[in-house]
Amino acid sequence: MSSKRIIIIGGVAGGASAAARARRLCEDCEIIVFERGPYVSFANCGLPYFVGGEIAEQDSLLVQTPESLKARFNLDVRINTEVIRLDRAVRRIRVREVDTGREYEEAYDALILSTGASPLKPPLPGIECPNHFVVRSIPDVEHIMAWSKDCQRCRAVVVGGGYIGLEMAEQLRHRGFDVTMAQALPQVMTPFDPEMAAWLHAELRANGVALHLNDPVVAFEPPSEQEPARASIVVLKSGHRLPADSVVLGLGVTPKVSLAKDAGLEIGNLGGIRVNEHLQTSDRHIWAVGDAIEVRDGVTDQWALIPLAGPANRQGRIAADNVLGRPTRYEHTWGTAILRLFTLTAGCTGANEKSLRRAAIPFQAIHLHPGSHAGYYPGAEPIALKVLFAPDSGKLLGAQAVGHEGVDKRIDVLATALKAGMTIHDLAELELAYAPPYGSAKDPVNLAGMAAQNVLAGDVALAQWNEITSLDPSTTLLLDVRRFDERAQGFIPGSVHIPLDELRQRLSELPRDREIIAYCHSGQRSYIATRILSYHGFRVRNLTGSYRTWQAAQCQ
């Protein structure tokens, strides 16, 4: 393999992975990494947990240092050094040392851009204010820690309900702060559909987070004697005024593409660097990875921005392969992600309903609430599981899960199935590890496949939670088949109650000129009810996810 001079702009997940992989493939190559900040390889996903104290030492966040990368991989790592210009014609970059201002140039044979993304800061009045923080780097959390050192019962306002916003809300509550979250959209966590995000709304409120949904921030005003605060008064569109001793801006990120754009590289419609399947830019000597690039969505095949650490690490490895003559394809990103929020875990993979509708892809959705492990073994917890699949072939399109236990395992299985192009028939047939403390003989993934098979086979027609409010009682009857004690705890208004075990004896009480929508607690007993009723000639559908999903959705 011929020696090359490889320059990598940016470290952390994509850049550091590319550099290490390049060295493993080529001992003779000269590899230089430029990092604008003081840390070349750190665990940015761990930043909120350092703020909350779960990660006690800042040094624990440092994955590698310039010294360790030099010792192990013989990499030339230059921190606090910003690349300010890229001259593609002569394959040179111009850099500036942040501390001294000294500028110089370096030549390259191959260039990998891992410039990342910047926190979104919309042009709102007063947004640039002391004690307004973003969470993107170690210096960011150093500022937060310095502010919070002497702050007791401080009021924190978290603006934005994505991953960083929710993790920071959790961690600030762990620190004893009063936390309010302001979210412009009707739900937090937009990768989830609204009825699944509703579980997170309930968890936030249960843990003392004041939640303002569908209420965007319009301004940050200075405090006053009448409204004292250490940071600002956060003004919402509704007129709510939230005094804040600190503000955490968790509004998402935007790709850092100014260097690429100024150099004339192709930028996609979403604002990221456009790359091919080999992560090569419009210049054959330049590759790009990580949060700065647009990728192909694994389900819709549309261009997307999916800033996740896992894909960035894999992209770094693949880019290095291609630079060094090993043709390797990066085909798609599936958006598999997971979040802990207080006592809940929420995970997702693939498409949600919103993205499928935008892409005009037909789908069917099922909800179920299986136990995390065998019900007879102590400690089983229900998992709210949603699976999306193609109504003709049964091909898996996406999945979402929320629960106290076992979510990570199921989402990882479903993510693997999605990548493999599996169908719901494959899910039903998967042979998964089982022992009572860990799962059930029919794992939740198996049950999801079986429930979807029933739909494809025509054994059951489904009703969705969001249909209930628009039902016409003159044409539709809601039938509750739970026990009396369950109904006493709450029911869907307007429903008729006939317990499942009495249904066969009370068929005469049901109308034959109206459609019946049956529900129970989670959907299993109401499925049995639909089979009984359809056999006896009734028009009937099962409310998928039943009362548990419908009730959770009311927390939006």
504 three-state secondary structure: helix
Residue appearing with tokens 């020696």: 3
Residue appearing with tokens 């004893």: 176
- How many CB atoms sit inside 10 A of residue 223's CB? 15
- How many CB atoms sit inside 10 A of residue 88's CB? 16
CA-to-CA separations, 96 to 75, 82, 358, in angstroms, rounded: 19, 5, 44
Separation of CA 535 from chain center: 42
Q: What angle do CA 457, 458, 461 make, to 5 degrees?
A: 130
The catalytic site residues sit at 45
Are 297 and 355 contacting, i.e. CB atoms less than 8 angstroms apart? yes
Whole-angstrom Cα distance, residue 178 to residue 157? Answer: 8
Q: At what angle do helices 444-456 and 407-419 cross, to 10 degrees?
A: 50
Residues 6 or more apart whose Cβ sits within 8 Å of residue 485: none
Whole-angstrom Cα distance, residue 235 to residue 216? Answer: 9
- How many CB atoms sit inside 10 A of residue 522's CB? 22
Both tokens of residue 445?
A: 């993934």
